[in-house]
Amino acid sequence: MEHIYPAFECGRILKKELLWALRDYSYSALWLRYRDYPDGIISGCGVRVEGAVLYITPGIVKCQGFLFLLTAEEGVEYAPTEEVTCLKFRLVKKKELADYTRYITEFVLDDRTEREQNEIEICRFKLREGAKLRTEYKDFYDMQTEYDTVNPAYATWSAAGGNTLSKEATDFFARKVLDCKEAEERDICFAWSLLQNQEAVKYEILTDYIMRKTGQEKQEGISTAEIFRRLEKILDGIRNGTDTYGSREKEPYHRMIVLD
- Consecutive 10-residue runs of the chain (260 residues): their mean pLDDT? 61 71 73 93 95 94 93 93 95 85 93 94 95 93 94 95 94 95 90 92 94 81 91 92 54 45
pLDDT at 62: 96
Angular region, 82: left φ>0, alpha ψ -120 to 50, beta rest = left
**Pairs from 202-211 (Cβ < 8 Å, separation ≥ 24):** 202/159, 202/160, 202/161, 202/162, 202/164, 203/159, 203/161, 203/162, 203/163, 203/164, 203/165, 203/227, 204/161, 204/162, 206/164, 206/165, 206/170, 206/231, 210/234
Q: State the pTM of this model.
A: 0.83
Report the C-alpha gap between 98 and 160 in whole angstroms: 33
Residue 90 burial (C-beta neighbours within 10 Å; 0-12, 13-18, 19+): middle
pLDDT at 250: 44
| Domain spans of the chain, in order of start | 40-163, 165-240
pLDDT at 19: 72
